[in-house]
Chains A and B, each alone.
Chain A
Amino acid sequence: MTQETPAALKTDQMFINFGPQHPSTHGVLRIALTVEGEVVIKGDPDVGFLHRGMEKLFEARTYPQALVLTDRLDYTSAMHNNLAYCLAVERLAGIQVPPRAQYIRVLVAELNRIASHLVFFGTFGVDMGAFTPFLYAFREREMILDLFEMLCGGRLLYSYLRIGGVSADLPAGWTEKCREFVNFFKPMLGDYDTLLSGNPIFQSRTKGVGFISAEKAVAWGLSGPALRGSGVNYDVRKADPYCVYDKLNFTVPLGTNGDCFDRYYCRMREMGQSAEIVLQCLDALSGAEPTPGEVIAKGVPKMFKPAAAQAYSHVEASRGDLGFFAVSDGGLNPYRMHVRGPSFINVAILQEILVGCKIADVVAILGSLDIVLGEVDR
């Protein structure tokens, strides 16, 4: 009988294709994992499985037509995409948006942030083996979608924001329904904590997993809750205020450890802040000022040609710093439109933080970054 050497016990490396069809990749991301036993020694994200050539298509559409494409970038928070695009084009053409439209924009953007974070909450729970939160999250989400349906008829992709304002004023009875929803929703955050955040199994799967230091987060250009979970206080709404965010009162939740749980919990607390912003906007919209009905800038023609210029504008979308870089050559179509998708930049850090983690934690880390493949691949 031969003596067993440690070398003989060594496990071989194994190559695993994680995705593109996998229920936990939230779309069609592929990660090429090299594992040794349970430990990942190399993780190489491969994207492009949803590449739709969006930036080329912008060049083939007129400015109002291109708005429809922006919905389909980050499809769980379409309002933010509309908003970032409209802000960029308005800056390009020097259009002033009426104050009422600005409040409505902030209102719908924050409602959409809640809806988007609810999708994250539900799917992250499913990733971690808890199915019930999914049903609760989607119950509340459907209420927000009902509100959006009253506004513009769309459930998921809205194109409600237009260049120069919004497509229509709030319909009769909408503010009451919205207030009713927010009052119903705020206590629900406590329920979510009981359901998932406080669950010991969930905590042991997310705390201390997928650690990202503040320096690393900044170097990799993370944004949104993925950055703030590491304790970096950077929120476009505060750092570079747009619309009426400088008139509103809210705080930016920060994490301390930079692990999966902190990123998750940042989003949960952000929902509470968004609900507060929604209430403030509803209060501001209920009076005679800003004038009801004035929701779109006058004199924006349907076929409009901004003078040759360049503009960059960014917003704090649900997943982070979403920017549009617009170049006009004086023609009907944008000469060049670049989208800075926060998910695209957030997902790049996977190649560094996956190394050394257990294979079961890959799902937790990926889920906590909360990427949307429509925005990664564009």
Chain B
Amino acid sequence: MGIVLDNLSKIENLPGGGIALATSDSLINWARTSSVWPLTFGLACCAIEMMAAYASRFDFERMGVFPRPTPRQADVMFVAGTVAKKMADPIIRIYKQMPEPKFVIAMGGCANCGGPFYDSYSVVKGVDKIIPVDVYLPGCPPRPEALMYAVIKLQEKMKKMTVKGGHGATPLQAAGSRKLV
């Protein structure tokens, strides 16, 4: 209940029960932050560390992070690994299939800027060339703890979102800067 109480602006105790008051923003953001469902989507080395994060020692699910195999049920995409140019189009297509609001964590050096393949002829130099990125996570590969930290940072961002306008868009989307190439 601790999390819920943080999001409540008021609790009215009435005879026979009570009314909890909260702004719709804080209620919706509470729900969003506690069920960040990523897409089961691995590209390269970082995907193995992502799998380790889901597995027994790190147990990502306790943070509400539960992998979904289909983009239509996913909130966040972990771009875990090198984005080859041949993979750029499928990634854009997967991103477009995800429902709003959607987030992207660029995991590892390759997804940030090309990493050790910065001078390769067939690597996209950072996934932000093709889709907007919310959190950049450095490392080659980042440890599972680092991935958890990235999710915590994303949750902090989610908590600042407003539903004004009724579409739950992130501030960036509202400003129209989330145009795809």
Contacts and interface: CB of A to CB of B under 8 A. Distances in A.
Interface of A: 20-23, 26-28, 48-54, 56-57, 60, 68-69, 71-72, 75-76, 119, 122-123, 134-139, 141-142, 145, 155-157, 373-374, 377
B123 interface: yes
Contact of A119 (B48, B69, B81): B48
Nearest to A138: B55
Interface string B83-97: 010110010001000
Contacts, number: 100
B84 A122 contact: no
B57 A56 contact: no
A52 B123 CA distance: 6
B41 A21 contact: yes
Contact of A142 (B44, B47, B56): B56
B40 A57 contact: no
A214 B122 CA distance: 37
Nearest to A52: B117
A60 to B, nearest CB: 6
Given A156-B48, A157-B140, A53 B43 contact: no
Contacts of B143: 155
A49 B94 CA distance: 14
A54 B44 CA distance: 14
Interface string B49-77: 10110011100000000000101000000
A377 B82 CA distance: 12
Interface size class of B (residues with CB under 8 A): 20 to 34
A48 B84 contact: yes
Contacts of B42: 26-27
A155 B57 CA distance: 14
A374 B141 CA distance: 14
Contacts of B47: 27
Given A28-B90, A377-B84, 14 more contacts: A21-B94, A27-B47, A28-B87, A50-B43, A50-B82, A50-B84, A51-B84, A52-B120, A60-B119, A72-B45, A136-B56, A138-B55, A142-B55, A156-B48
Nearest to B114: A52
Contact of A53 (B81, B87, B123): B123
A-B pairs, top 5 by smallest CB distance, nearest first, are A138-B55, A75-B45, A53-B120, A135-B56, A49-B87
B141 to A, nearest CB: 5
A72 to B, nearest CB: 6
Given A21-B41, A75-B45, A373-B44, A139 B56 contact: yes
B56 A374 contact: no
A156 B141 contact: yes
Interface in B97-155: 116-117, 119-123, 140-141, 143
Contact of B48 (A50, A54, A75, A136): A75
Nearest to B88: A49
Interface of B: 39-45, 47-49, 51-52, 55-57, 69, 71, 81-82, 84, 86-87, 90, 94, 116-117, 119-123, 140-141, 143
9 contacts: A20-B87, A28-B43, A28-B87, A50-B44, A50-B82, A56-B120, A56-B121, A134-B55, A145-B52
Contacts of A50: 43-44, 81-82, 84, 87
Nearest to A134: B55
B122 A72 contact: no
A123 B122 CA distance: 29
Nearest to A140: B56
Contacts of B121: 53, 56
A141 B141 CA distance: 17
Given A20-B90, A49-B86, A49-B87, A156 B43 contact: no
Contact of A157 (B45, B51, B86): B45
Given A52-B84, A53-B120, A142 B57 contact: yes
A31 to B, nearest CB: 14
A143 to B, nearest CB: 9
* Max chain B C-beta neighbours (<10 A), residue from A68, A123, A142: A142
A48 B89 CA distance: 13
Given A49-B84, A69-B116, A374 B44 contact: yes
A86 B91 CA distance: 35
Contacts of A56: 120-121
A115 B69 CA distance: 25
A248 to B, nearest CB: 28
A28 B69 CA distance: 14
A290 to B, nearest CB: 33
Contacts of A57: 117, 119-120
